Structure 1
């Protein structure tokens, strides 16, 4: 506790004393009684009102106009009523939503106890959405054609339904990962196939306990590590259960489909905060790219809120009351997924004497069951599915008399986390902003910067304080203690001059248990940090544009593995044509680009490396891991294949190479790939560039009933990209939200060209700049309270 107090005081002294108000006096007055809305060149509305209620009412109204059908689909996604309009394909999706949702009772209790300012904003936001619905029903503007396609009409929202959109996405999806059962079934499969000893070796290779070589945002900052009551050991024989069809494995087919639709099966975002001295002035740069999927309409929405008391401009997930990626008059902030271990699977046994009681190690849980009636389009009566719950969480799988219960750290804390995030967006200095993080139970990384050039980073959530009673990579028989932490995982103004995170751990020694396969030496945050460190003399807004380009096109597998793999190829064993292709590969800049827009990669090495890496991985590890090969597989955007290098260096626990020489083996794979692609034996073909599609679905694949937007090649970028410069002279914000900020009309896809050309529209922060906008203007009379 003393360490926490000292840490807090130090940050307070460093940040509060030098905070700067970047706004001007022109923000201190505005007319009352109505709401004015200007639209900037990118279709982002800026709401000018005299009160907080008016600002958030205007925000809700704009969102309702621009994304009405998307909001309806979001509501149905979180409540589990998609099958009612989209048919039998969504029965399972609805069942999972109902099983896993945050209970309406919890949301209702949270709303009763929430701070007054949040309650005011939520009420106004909901009123604004409903005002837009009433106006479209009255014919005051055109309704989204998607409603007619779906055969439904717009319906008003309640405040609880708006809360449920946050709870059902940020909590019950983006913070609801659990791979313990996948890991268990991997282990079971390996035991059946290879025996206990070999199974243990392979399991420890794939689902490793910790990789000390991973990049972390805060480095070696000391912290009280989330620990075990005893040292965990993996006992394959003891862990063995009867063969089963894992529900999580069944989801892999669905995840592959969603990824093909543009829905990420890996959650993520990139962010960086930089502090620099330029022309005698200290500045800060904030760079954010929330990767929440590539959809049409976008997963995020751009908005500006302006009153005499505050200005906030930025983007946020659709349906959220607060602006997640934004700047106010004093600070700017962005976020990345924290990927902390907030969810455990408990393996509890059914009590033979009491069929409604589950027992574990020193714990019991009472079962309750309910029947969910799912209305399905085209079926004469609802489909009935049984949901099994306990006071520790929902039952997600049953194997014999073993019940797997999802135990969530954030249960009961979702609304409090929501209100804390909301409060952080109004902070007038970084210390107040950091203080708000203490109330956020969800695993999120926050970046902040102020006008005096200070930067800060904090890892939120209860993952940093967990106390496990078993191996946290596998289901356990006793619940984890998720106690409130007594210390922040935070820092400010580092010696390096920057913080970077692309979903890596916050500090050395921080683990995420069952999700460890994502946190190895090849975790992509190192690329981001290396790029920033290597270009220190170029730090500027222009540099952030170049960084965005390099993030977009760099094959992350090539960055981490190409030079190593190329070094293993024996040149003297290659034919002249193979050597020519080898030199092309060795000299490739790792970029997957199509500058002439002919549909093919400019450098054939991009396609050759893709085929080479996949063939090598599949041959060396794919057969051994079989249907679990996805656990350590990588693609151009996401790397988790450090095991591949360890195997070739013979640093793995299990010997995958056997008597094969690594150089001869890699050379043979390279020659095989060359022969398969150079069908004439001499020349490589043109390799088609991977297209990028903004699919007409939402985060779970539910249709949004619009067209698809696309471009080539694929770019590994944010759903929104925002660049912010802060100094004593003010705050400059620019960004791009593809395909556009609305679902219909000109702004539905008007950002696609800017996205492809790496152009970013200015996002005005101050009222004087908003009033100078020449875009669409409208007034909502009688709306401000």
Structure 2
């Protein structure tokens, strides 16, 4: 027995040693020396206490090559999965369950567009040279170091990253902005199947009759709903970043304690492990920038230095139209376009599938764009639906735009840089140490025919889907140095200098109004401390705006004294979504029940589920609760004609029943923090038991939908998982940019078991900030290790 135990102990020890050796070999190398091809001189990389690399180079190309190398050390699997998702290549590593997702992204045309765009790029521009050096750094890392653990698990064969991969990932990010797939089918269904009276809640009555001339059949509606479901599922299940909203503001020196502008920004993006942003402090003679980078992008999307700083929010302009085509009865391969029948173009593609035969698909295109019916494989409808998307149709030199923005120290330089960003639509909020602040809505806005409402599916045969060129950049919403001394951007409907309508899928104005209310207080001098409090504000006035018209109906719905007390608590609630707030739980459950009682019977399960994923519902609900005579309140499943009071009573009773069944009978235990949690999901953490290894969380989360601290959950029944929120929180006072503060929601590294895999997650959820070291002395003091990259001797 002793010999057996000894042998077992040796086996366990050997296995442990082997596992340690294997895992240790996957970790980033952050100290010592390494050699890279094509470096002109040595590059030093100091890693600080959070694992952020501070790269000092003598030459620009060396700086970007080093960035590519260290970025790959921490995020290679994220880069790989993003390019595969964007290019429709996930089934090759994840199997047949991802064929539908691959088919969707192939149909969107991102892969084909990226290959064509990359082939036509001028690779001699400074931005292109930066990209090539950066990609070379990634590829040198991949060729010389062990593959990430995830590559081994999934059997991924490494292949070089290319310019087309970078363009493809940009296409995925642009697509994640587009709300048309989730919104246009359900709004068109409401208009065509229910009628104009039902549209009033959605405030679309400036063209309520719509523009689809032909009648869509039942099979067409089934297809459209399936496309909406597929689009949502593809983004939800990817475990990868998806852009959703954002806050940003700039305050001029006249309104700050320091006398210099202050910039605040927190882009709202779907949470994931690793998080979207990779922080890096880059410098070479004449250039210095602390930037937040996306995967496969050498230039920072967010950044600051001693001279200037900027942040982003989503413009949310409607840059994607769905268009119903009319086919030739004698030739189904022709559609009516500008007064004649024209041929559809088609191409064949193959999707490689792990452990299965490849899947062939035919992707067709009309003059308006790709026919998205192909995303469903076998469709049941007969109407081709085309997609016009600005990302595919504009020149969009976005890489050049951000390369210039990384170097834009003046208003003129920043404005010129932003004009190059054509799709997706972005708000750029910018400030400099000279005292200027500015905001520009960046997008190539199409000229649509007068009266056309692109919130609905358009009629391709009648001319309403045509675009008569684009508006000039000067017509885009924008401000420079406004007299009020501050600028706010929070995804609400912006106003053009020309007064033109800009269709879009905008968020509620409540969040922006709340920020504006605080920033407009001239008695406040803004600094890093009170700016933190504003970014972390968990309150909103939306609940009272929605509930006030229902007060009498809610009081009448109370069944006993306990229920009456809960209703009074709800009606008197200040909208603060703090961890201990029981009213927050009660309100968010009631919102779902009100939507269900009012709309589910008219829409059916599938369209109602899609409506829950749209921003249109947030805007519709306060208008609906204020309209006692709305036809939505009548329940189509009964012979009687129900009133708003009937629906409110049913919603209240079902709300309480669900909370009691889910959380227990004691309302004092219905605290928001016990029902509203944040988990940072890794793509491999989608399945048990891998979730316990790769995912980070759950954490009790304050905030909610459309609070400034926008830790947002879907509308639905309790409990709620936070889906998206601040992807970083940044505060830069340009009187002393070296004191800038930020935070990463999870950690800098995407390498499992690395020190920096999740070292910021708890600090993030507690609302803490950490320094973003900028100057040489701070870098030296906070350096934990130094990696030196040297030219490879030949």
TM-score, with structure 1 as normaliser: 0.81
SS in 1 for 2:729: strand
- Find the counterpart in structure 1 of residue 637 from structure 2: none
Is 2:429–2:489's contact at 8 Å kept on the other side of the alignment?
no
- Whole-angstrom distance in 1 between the partners of 2:501 and 2:157: 47
Q: For residues 164-187 of structure 1, what are the alpha-carbon distances to aligned partners after superposition, in whole Å with 9 as ceiling and x for unaligned?
A: 222x22334435744434433333
- Whole-angstrom distance in 1 between the partners of 2:607 and 2:527: 43
- Whole-angstrom distance in 2 between the partners of 1:265 and 1:67: 17
- Find the counterpart in structure 2 of residue 474 from structure 1: 457
**From 169, 172, 175, the counterpart of 2:172:** 169
- Find the counterpart in structure 2 of residue 496 from structure 1: 484
- When residues 163 and 763 of structure 1 are mapped into structure 2, their CA distance, relative to the original with a 3 A threshold, is same
Is 1:678–1:685's contact at 8 Å kept on the other side of the alignment?
no
Deviation at 1:121, TM superposition (A): 0.4
- Find the counterpart in structure 2 of residue 10 from structure 1: none
- When residues 566 and 352 of structure 1 are mapped into structure 2, their CA distance, relative to the original with a 3 A threshold, is closer
Is 2:328–2:341's contact at 8 Å kept on the other side of the alignment?
no
**From 410, 430, 435, the counterpart of 2:416:** 435
- When residues 252 and 476 of structure 1 are mapped into structure 2, their CA distance, relative to the original with a 3 A threshold, is closer
- When residues 776 and 465 of structure 1 are mapped into structure 2, their CA distance, relative to the original with a 3 A threshold, is farther
**Structure 1 residue 608 corresponds to structure 2 residue 586:** yes
Is 1:299–1:698's contact at 8 Å kept on the other side of the alignment?
no
Deviation at 1:764, TM superposition (A): 2.1
- When residues 663 and 654 of structure 1 are mapped into structure 2, their CA distance, relative to the original with a 3 A threshold, is closer
Is 2:544–2:571's contact at 8 Å kept on the other side of the alignment?
no
Q: For residues 299-330 of structure 1, what are the alpha-carbon distances to aligned partners after superposition, in whole Å with 9 as ceiling and x for unaligned?
A: 22111111111111121322222101111342
Residues 220-619 of structure 1 correspond to what in structure 2 (within 5 A)?
233-234=209-210, 239-254=215-230, 255=232, 259=236, 267-277=244-254, 281-352=258-329, 354-362=331-339, 365-379=342-356, 381-397=357-373, 402-413=383-394, 416-442=397-423, 443-463=425-445, 465-467=447-449, 470-472=452-454, 473-477=456-460, 478=463, 479-485=466-472, 487=474, 488-507=476-495, 511=501, 513=503, 516=505, 518=506, 524-533=511-520, 537=524, 539-550=526-537, 553-554=538-539, 557-558=542-543, 560-566=545-551, 569-570=554-555, 575-594=560-579, 602-619=580-597
SS in 2 for 1:268: strand
Is 1:332–1:724's contact at 8 Å kept on the other side of the alignment?
no
Residues 669-708 of structure 1 correspond to what in structure 2 (within 5 A)?
669-670=651-652, 673-674=655-656, 677=659, 683-684=666-667, 686-687=669-670, 688-697=674-683, 707-708=694-695
Q: Is 646-655 or 766-775 further displaced after alignment?
A: 646-655
**From 188, 196, 200, the counterpart of 1:200:** 196
Deviation at 1:741, TM superposition (A): 0.9
- Whole-angstrom distance in 1 between the partners of 2:60 and 2:274: 27
**From 41, 49, 52, the counterpart of 2:57:** 49
Deviation at 1:286, TM superposition (A): 1.5
Q: For residues 704-743 of structure 1, what are the alpha-carbon distances to aligned partners after superposition, in whole Å with 9 as ceiling and x for unaligned?
A: 9960001322353445323233334545322111211111
Is 2:219–2:380's contact at 8 Å kept on the other side of the alignment?
no
**Structure 1 residue 96 corresponds to structure 2 residue 104:** yes
- Find the counterpart in structure 2 of residue 25 from structure 1: none
SS in 2 for 1:447: strand
**From 148, 156, 163, the counterpart of 1:159:** 163
Q: For residues 722-774 of structure 1, what are the alpha-carbon distances to aligned partners after superposition, in whole Å with 9 as ceiling and x for unaligned?
A: 32333345453221112111111111111112212222221122344333332
Is 2:142–2:158's contact at 8 Å kept on the other side of the alignment?
yes
SS in 1 for 2:391: coil
Is 1:183–1:207's contact at 8 Å kept on the other side of the alignment?
no
Deviation at 1:85, TM superposition (A): 0.9
- Find the counterpart in structure 2 of residue 220 from structure 1: none
- Find the counterpart in structure 1 of residue 80 from structure 2: 72
Deviation at 1:572, TM superposition (A): 10
TM-score, with structure 2 as normaliser: 0.80
- Whole-angstrom distance in 2 between the partners of 1:665 and 1:400: 35
Instruction: Could you tell me which runs of 5 or more consecutive residues in structure 2 were left unpaired when the two chains were aligned.
Output: 1-38, 374-378, 635-639, 703-709, 712-724
Is 2:308–2:431's contact at 8 Å kept on the other side of the alignment?
yes
Deviation at 1:99, TM superposition (A): 1.9
Deviation at 1:378, TM superposition (A): 1.5
Q: For residues 632-679 of structure 1, what are the alpha-carbon distances to aligned partners after superposition, in whole Å with 9 as ceiling and x for unaligned?
A: 6489xx784343333333387757469767567646643564466468
Is 1:294–1:694's contact at 8 Å kept on the other side of the alignment?
yes
Output the aligned Cα RMSD: 3.6
Instruction: Indicate the structure whose relative CO is greater, using CA pairs within 8 Å and at least 6 residues apart.
Output: 1
Is 2:246–2:313's contact at 8 Å kept on the other side of the alignment?
yes
- When residues 348 and 783 of structure 1 are mapped into structure 2, their CA distance, relative to the original with a 3 A threshold, is farther
Instruction: Could you tell me which runs of 5 or more consecutive residues in structure 1 were left unpaired when the two chains were aligned.
Output: 1-30, 138-142, 191-198, 211-230, 595-601
Is 2:257–2:526's contact at 8 Å kept on the other side of the alignment?
no
- Whole-angstrom distance in 1 between the partners of 2:558 and 2:318: 47
- Whole-angstrom distance in 1 between the partners of 2:341 and 2:280: 48
- Find the counterpart in structure 2 of residue 16 from structure 1: none
Deviation at 1:556, TM superposition (A): 7.2
- When residues 450 and 781 of structure 1 are mapped into structure 2, their CA distance, relative to the original with a 3 A threshold, is same
- When residues 125 and 783 of structure 1 are mapped into structure 2, their CA distance, relative to the original with a 3 A threshold, is farther
Is 1:115–1:419's contact at 8 Å kept on the other side of the alignment?
no
Is 1:410–1:462's contact at 8 Å kept on the other side of the alignment?
no
- Find the counterpart in structure 1 of residue 12 from structure 2: none
Is 1:275–1:285's contact at 8 Å kept on the other side of the alignment?
yes
**From 32, 36, 39, the counterpart of 2:44:** 36
SS in 2 for 1:326: strand
SS in 2 for 1:452: coil
- When residues 203 and 585 of structure 1 are mapped into structure 2, their CA distance, relative to the original with a 3 A threshold, is closer
Deviation at 1:51, TM superposition (A): 1.2
**Structure 1 residue 61 corresponds to structure 2 residue 69:** yes
Residues 113-128 of structure 1 correspond to what in structure 2 (within 5 A)?
116-128=125-137
Is 1:322–1:425's contact at 8 Å kept on the other side of the alignment?
yes
- Whole-angstrom distance in 1 between the partners of 2:448 and 2:385: 20
Q: Is 720-729 or 80-89 further displaced after alignment?
A: 720-729
- Whole-angstrom distance in 2 between the partners of 1:681 and 1:376: 46
**From 721, 729, 736, the counterpart of 2:728:** 721
Deviation at 1:256, TM superposition (A): 5.9
- When residues 622 and 78 of structure 1 are mapped into structure 2, their CA distance, relative to the original with a 3 A threshold, is same
- Find the counterpart in structure 1 of residue 4 from structure 2: none
Q: For residues 181-208 of structure 1, what are the alpha-carbon distances to aligned partners after superposition, in whole Å with 9 as ceiling and x for unaligned?
A: 4433333432xxxxxxxx1211343361
